Amino acid sequence: MKLGLSGLLLLLGVSFPLAAQQPAPTLIPPTLVPTPDTGMTDALVSESAVARIQANGRVRVGILYNVPPFGLLNIRGAVAGFDADLARSMADAWGVEAEFVQVTRQTALDLLTSGQVDILAAAMVHQRELDNRVEFSHTYYRGSQAVMVRQDDGASVLAHMADRKLGVVIGTASEQAVQAWQVRSGMNVTVETYYTLEQGLVALVNQEIDGLVSSRYRLRELLKPGVVRILDEPLAAEPYAIALRRQDVSLRDLVNRTLQYLAENGRLNEIYASNFPGSTYPSGLVPIWLNLGDEAPRPDQFESGIPYPTQYVIPRLQDGQPLRVAGIQEVPDDAPESEKRLNALNRAVVERLAARWGGSVEYLPNSVDNALDLVASGQADVAVGAQPDWAWADRVDFSTPYLVHGDRLMVKRNSDIESFNELRGGKWVGIFASEPGSADKVNELARSINTAVNIYTMIREQDVPFYILEDKNADVAFGDSLKLIPHIEAYPDDFRLTTRCPNCDPFYTRDYVALGLPRNDLDFRLLVEYTLQEMAQDGTLASLWQPVTLPDEVPEFDIWPGPAQYLGFNLRGG
């Protein structure tokens, strides 16, 4: 017997939070009028919102009141949720007050672009279609569109949903996600639309559809073990970010630096755990740049005006001129293997980018030591192999990192060592002579667990197997993963990298490799970001990562949902 909506929801034990009693947004959002992709038509604002925040001592935060666990008006009449906690933490770091302004899905962008709020912390998915209206911070929450199926359904991966029926709420991102997945995968499904997620759940349990699509966190609210379950494989990425006015680079830098500060000092993990019980904030989700500092960033450290580029890169590319690249050097044959592999990756990344834009690459000679200077002065379009660095943030921008590497611990394959906890008893730790400061890191890690270790300095990278296996100068090797991975590949039966613990970050330190880009040339930065994301989606980056990343440790790359065309460029590989 098929169940009605109320009977089924009672059976599933679905309850509705108080926030759901607040006025809800319109079920079908208004159709957006397409805007031409000119890229250079923004109404330029001369003063950053940083100046107003500093002058008034408060930041106006647009937030949703009916989307738990991100934003809600609780039973005491206070604004609560992950977004609210994040906004308060940011305001506290700035020494100002957070003033919450209720927004809806339909009013949020207008309130931001008209200056009625300074930022939007409103469970906003960074979608490419929104980039022509606003700008986004680092991703602070990585969600996804997912598929719920009946418990007894045999489906375990998305491919098992081919030629079946999927339900979505009409006019939502889920509908768009299913369409994009069909195009990307080449699989066909029949889409049934509903006005509410609860109606879709009834249809799923009554076997009128085979899967129900929504944001994973929404599906979890409806989850009832033994009746329905959620497929692990995501249908589409949903990276949540803070929105601000386009090209307000000072505010963007203030927000991003504060997100990094909150991630580094543990505050992000605290508020994440309080809003998502039993969860730990994902390691490396917010990249930590060099020279972040120990003190909270303040508005008065950022310029009140908005600097705009004197020249833009995209018109040059559209005119058929080459992409000018700084930072590449010729690596000699006797160079360490790690240096050769990193140089090859850097070359391949910029050459694949240019190829997708239908252009060529011009490598600037003798540009390794002054690559960022050349970008800042307009003599180069891109600095390859750059480490994002706050000391340079007032002169250049940085792309999303295309490589993460850092200090790891390499041990013998049959060793029971997983971390420094098992190095007690005076074991020998090999470090690289080419990595200044490694001895201090090792000693500090040992002191943190109240023990001491012996240190052996390894002169040449290629001799690591001899130091450990033959001469037995060291029990383990500690150093940059780029230097350790070649030995893991060459001696798979002898060495492995440790994971430290099941839920630990396997990296002791993280170093990021990105592209240095002209400051506040937003449309070029978006072109770079979109193309890197398309390369991640189609497997191109994975193939480039193979020499510098272990197969089972391929980094997760943020994908902003949206089209693969931008300003006349087709970003998909041919």
Whether 340 and 331 have beta carbons less than 8 Å apart is answered as: yes
Q: Please calculate the CA angle 363-366-372 and round it to the nearest 5 degrees.
A: 75
Give Cβ neighbours of residue 423 (< 8 Å, ≥ 6 apart). 417, 429, 446, 451, 453, 475, 476
- Is 440 inside any structural domain? yes
Q: Domain ends where: 470, 497, 524? A: 497
Q: What is the mean pLDDT of residues 252-257?
A: 98
User: Are 291 and 380 in a shared domain?
Assistant: no
pLDDT for the residue 126: 97
- Is 465 inside any structural domain? yes
d(CA 44, CA 52): 17
User: Are 250 and 231 in a shared domain?
Assistant: no
- Number of structural domains the chain divides into: 4
Q: Which domain holds residue 257?
A: 19-28+47-133+246-301
Beta strands in 387-427 (DSSP E): 396-398, 403-405, 407-412
User: Are 54 and 189 in a shared domain?
Assistant: no
pLDDT for the residue 8: 58
What confidence tier does 35 reach under pLDDT thresholds 50, 70, 90? Answer: very low
pLDDT for the residue 11: 53
Give Cβ neighbours of residue 5 (< 8 Å, ≥ 6 apart). 198, 199, 202
- Is 4 inside any structural domain? no
User: Are 280 and 297 in a shared domain?
Assistant: yes
Domain CATH number, residue 337: 3.40.190.10
* 309 pLDDT above the threshold of 70: yes
User: Are 478 and 528 in a shared domain?
Assistant: no
Beta-bridge partner residues of 392: none
DSSP class per residue in 35-100:
----SS-----SB-HHHHHHHHTEEEEEE-SEETTTEEE-TTS-EESHHHHHHHHHHHHHTSEEEE
- Is 502 inside any structural domain? no
Q: What is the mean pLDDT of residues 464-469?
A: 95
- Which of 3-7, 35-39, 238-242, 483-487 has the least mean pLDDT? 35-39
User: Are 265 and 284 in a shared domain?
Assistant: yes
Please report where in the chains the tokens 């890197």 appear, as a residue: 532
- Is 3 inside any structural domain? no
User: Are 396 and 525 in a shared domain?
Assistant: yes
Question: Mean pLDDT in the chain?
Answer: 91
pLDDT for the residue 502: 80
User: Are 253 and 290 in a shared domain?
Assistant: yes
pLDDT for the residue 7: 57
User: pLDDT tens for residues 175-208?
Assistant: 999 999 998 889 999 999 999 999 999 999 999 9
pLDDT for the residue 10: 53
User: Are 229 and 317 in a shared domain?
Assistant: no
pLDDT for the residue 24: 39
Q: What is the mean pLDDT of residues 502-520?
A: 94
* 29 pLDDT above the threshold of 60: no
* 389 pLDDT above the threshold of 90: yes
Percentage of the chain exceeding pLDDT 90: 85
pLDDT for the residue 58: 98
Q: Domain ends where: 471, 497, 523? A: 497
User: pLDDT tens for residues 311-320?
Assistant: 999 999 999 9
Q: Taking the CA atoms of the chain, what radius of gyration do you get in angstroms?
A: 25
pLDDT for the residue 554: 84
How many Cα atoms occupy the beta-carbon half-sphere of 446 within 13 Å?
A: 19
What confidence tier does 426 reach under pLDDT thresholds 50, 70, 90? Answer: confident
What confidence tier does 504 reach under pLDDT thresholds 50, 70, 90? Answer: confident
Which of 111, 106, 105, 108 lies closest to 49 in space, CA to CA? Answer: 111
- Is 396 inside any structural domain? yes
- Per the model's pLDDT, the better-predicted residue between 26 and 430 turns out to be 430
pLDDT for the residue 42: 47
- Per the model's pLDDT, the better-predicted residue between 223 and 363 turns out to be 363
Q: Are strands 71-73 and 79-80 parallel, antiparallel or unpaired?
A: antiparallel
Which of 158, 136, 132 lies closest to 146 in space, CA to CA? Answer: 158
Q: What is the mean pLDDT of residues 381-408?
A: 97
pLDDT for the residue 1: 52
User: Are 398 and 522 in a shared domain?
Assistant: yes
- Is 10 inside any structural domain? no
- Helix, strand counts (H, E) of the chain: 17, 25
pLDDT for the residue 40: 41
* 12 pLDDT above the threshold of 90: no
**Cα distance between the two ends of the chain:** 52
User: How far is CA 420 from each of CA 230, 240, 406, 426, 568, rounded to the nearest angstrom?
Assistant: 37, 35, 16, 11, 53
* 165 pLDDT above the threshold of 90: yes
**Structure tokens of 531?**
């193309």
- Is 506 inside any structural domain? no
User: Are 24 and 126 in a shared domain?
Assistant: yes
Q: What is the mean pLDDT of residues 404-431?
A: 94
User: Are 196 and 229 in a shared domain?
Assistant: yes
Which of 350, 366, 357, 365 lies closest to 321 in space, CA to CA? Answer: 357
d(CA 289, CA 511): 8
Q: Return phi, psi of residue 60, to 5°.
A: -90, 115
